[in-house]
Structure 1
Amino acid sequence: MARYWEWSNPFKIDPKETALIIVDMQKGFVDEGHCFFTPQAHEQIPLIADFKKFCNEVGIPVFMSVFAQDKDYHNDYYWFRNKERGLLNEDGSCKLRLGTDDCEMTKALESVGDDVVFTKYTYSCFSHTELETWLKKKRIRTVIICGTCTDWCVDSTIRDAYHKDYNVVVLADGVSTYPHAGAEPETWNTMLLDLWGEGFGRVVKAEEAKAEIKESLK
């Protein structure tokens, strides 16, 4: 079976019609000591920050999601699981609620210029948000996706983007997850990178994507 880097390329990345989507790289997931700390995501902050800076410099719009919950802003099933997942404070409030440090972007990814930071209360960046409207206004056809967690919000966003007919590019070294459901992060990443490459979009490393974009700008 072919690996993700062996699949052929059905499209090229055209920066004039491309946007970057950074999924949930907020303090709650990527900063040590916070409620849902994911070490692999923390390790990828420099790479994603560098790629974001590159996109800012070449005029590729950047959209960054923040996963948040509150009593009137949640998916019922996820809200129901908060206690079992260790996401409640002693007073019963949710740790990932709006207005808390956990729901702020990590410092290295703070917004600049026209960056858009938006909240969502479920997995996909397209679900119950204005993301698709913003992309259509900018006539975006290709989305580059990175962030956390691989098998939750990143996967859901990739699938939704594919089903909305966007060209999807995944940064292979810019997605992360944590051990759960009987599998280690490396297992989740390996399986999903291959799956995405087979059926949902291009999977490339960040430097490869940058090189392709630079070449198109010559």
Structure 2
Amino acid sequence: MNGDVTDWKRRNRSFYYASAPEPDDPDLNPATTALLVIDVQNTYLARPDRATLSDPATLADYDAWTPFHARMNGTVIPNIAALLAECRSRGIECLFARIACQTRDGRDRSLSQKKPGFNNLLLPKDEWPSQIVPELAPRGDEITVTKTTDSALTGTNLRLILHNLGIRTVICAGIFTDQCVASTVRSLADESFDVVVIEDACAAATMELHEAELRIVNMIYCNVMATQELRALLPR
């Protein structure tokens, strides 16, 4: 990204929107705007010491995930922390979503959370792995919704909460860009919320997946921009 804080209007365009006019700035009135932090939970950031691993397949998997962890710790978490501080100082509602099941054996999870593979995580709601990472912990009466679906709207009463709070614009950050973030963004757009996705406050397992999903959702389901571009648009 260059120094032009309007570059988001031209960046991350898919084939569908290559020649579309530039979008209007989002309405970021603090009274009607919320920041939603999605699924930045202990389970996704915890890692063993690499020196304790010996199995070649386990080591290969560990190394494959190293860029994700570097991005989370070096870019995404610091940017979300900065967004939380900025929004709190301006009276913008800060909300959180997390994946967790109500039962210890996970029998209440949706099908997408039970299929074998990456999504098949057992995260009982009161255990350490399902909690939001300490650096981004909710404060005071900030609202956290617990879901067993990818979309934070489908699996919770978040739509009603946002409606009751008078929210019209939702700023989204978190993980994973191509899964729970994208699913939540689509649901919000379908409910006629104006959505902003902060590209350097989100991550997917790989940058390829992250960047591809940003192009897919941009300009139809949301406006994609960087942290500094959002901050330049916030009312002074």
TM-score greater than 0.5 by the shorter chain: yes
Q: Is residue 233 of structure 2 the alignment partner of residue 202 of structure 1?
A: no
TM-superposed CA distance for 1:4, in Å, is 2.5
Q: Describe the SS at the equivalent of 1:4.
A: coil
What residue number does 1:164 align with? 191
Amino acid at match of 1:119: T
Alpha-carbon displacement from aligned partner over 1:22-54 (angstroms, at most 9, x marks no partner): 000111113434xx9851333311111111111
Query: Which of residues 18, 42, 47 is equivalent to 2:73?
Result: 42
Alpha-carbon displacement from aligned partner over 1:47-83 (angstroms, at most 9, x marks no partner): 11111111111111111111113434201342242xx
What residue number does 1:75 align with? 110
Are the structure 2 counterparts of residues 57 and 174 from structure 1 closer, same or farther at C-alpha, using a change threshold of 3 Å? same
Are the structure 2 counterparts of residues 87 and 160 from structure 1 closer, same or farther at C-alpha, using a change threshold of 3 Å? closer
Instruction: Judge conservation of contact 2:36–2:171 (CA < 8 Å) in 1.
Output: yes
> How many matched pairs?
199
Alpha-carbon displacement from aligned partner over 1:108-138 (angstroms, at most 9, x marks no partner): 1111123112210110010121111111111
What residue number does 1:3 align with? 11
Instruction: Judge conservation of contact 1:31–1:106 (CA < 8 Å) in 2.
Output: no
What residue number does 1:211 align with? 232
Q: CA RMSD in A?
A: 2.4
Q: Is residue 91 of structure 2 the alignment partner of residue 59 of structure 1?
A: yes
**What are the residue-to-residue correspondences of 1:1-218 with 2, within 5 Å?**
3-4=11-12, 8-10=22-24, 11-33=26-48, 38-39=68-69, 40-43=71-74, 44-69=76-101, 70=103, 71-81=106-116, 84-85=117-118, 94=122, 96-178=123-205, 185-213=206-234, 216-217=235-236
Q: Describe the SS at the equivalent of 2:231.
A: helix
Are the structure 2 counterparts of residues 3 and 25 from structure 1 closer, same or farther at C-alpha, using a change threshold of 3 Å? same
Structure with max Cα Rg: 2
Instruction: Judge conservation of contact 2:112–2:149 (CA < 8 Å) in 1.
Output: no
Are the structure 2 counterparts of residues 86 and 24 from structure 1 closer, same or farther at C-alpha, using a change threshold of 3 Å? closer
Are the structure 2 counterparts of residues 65 and 194 from structure 1 closer, same or farther at C-alpha, using a change threshold of 3 Å? same
Give the Cα separation in 2 of the matches to 1:112 and 1:30.
21
Amino acid at match of 2:110: N
Amino acid at match of 1:15: P
Query: Matched residues, percent identical?
Result: 24
Give the Cα separation in 2 of the matches to 1:17 and 1:144.
11
Amino acid at match of 1:177: A
Amino acid at match of 2:192: D
TM-superposed CA distance for 1:161, in Å, is 0.6
Instruction: Judge conservation of contact 1:61–1:114 (CA < 8 Å) in 2.
Output: no
Give the Cα separation in 2 of the matches to 1:136 and 1:121.
21
Amino acid at match of 1:41: M
Give the Cα separation in 1 of the matches to 2:38 and 2:159.
15
Q: Describe the SS at the equivalent of 1:192.
A: helix
